[in-house]
Structure 1
């Protein structure tokens, strides 16, 4: 089973970066980056997010090796649509409240 360090290394190699190049992009020392790849250092969330952004891979892919699926993408689209509908509903309710305040003269 591959570790997060192994997947970070794969991502780095896919970009054609040396460990020194990757470390420079992440603003850390080369030995520190080497320890991340070899699993000698645990990666915190903020560092994982930074690596994900720098290497242009999802955090999910770094953690478990699975890329974001179309199902996830479709779920995200459905949730965005639902959120937009709820926001429209909230705006309508706000307008009703304002109209009621106007009728009451408040």
Structure 2
């Protein structure tokens, strides 16, 4: 399992940033940023959020190392709508099964 520092490095490299450039964007020194990537510095939540925002990833992506893009709100709404439709379809099929059992006298 990769560390948070490794995940930060992966995100930085994906953006094509050097450690110095990343440090500059975060308004910290290059050695301070290097310590973050190597795990020598414990991160607080606000610094983690700042890094996520700067690197255009979610905090979850930095913590987990999962670099897939987060599901958009629009996608979530669409998926919920599809789920509701499927649940309604399942309920209709259940009713048909119950009706068939009643017709067969079971």
TM-score after normalising by structure 1: 0.65
C-alpha separation between the residues in 2 aligned to 1:74 and 1:65? 22
Aligned positions, number? 76
1:4 — aligned with what? 4
Could you list the structure 1 runs, at least 4 aligned residues long, displaced by more than 2 angstroms after superposition. 66-70
- What CA RMSD, in Å, does the superposition of the two structures yield over aligned residues? 2.1
Higher RCO, 1 vs 2 (CA within 8 Å, ≥6 residues apart): 2
1:14 — aligned with what? 14
- Give the greater-gyration-radius structure (CA): 2
For each residue in 1:48-82, what CA deviation from the matched residue of structure 2 results, as whole angstroms up to 9, or x when unmatched?
A: 00000000001000011234347xx527x96xxxx
Gaps of 5+ in 2: 81-106
TM-score after normalising by structure 2: 0.65
1:74 — aligned with what? 76
Paired residue secondary structure (1:41): coil
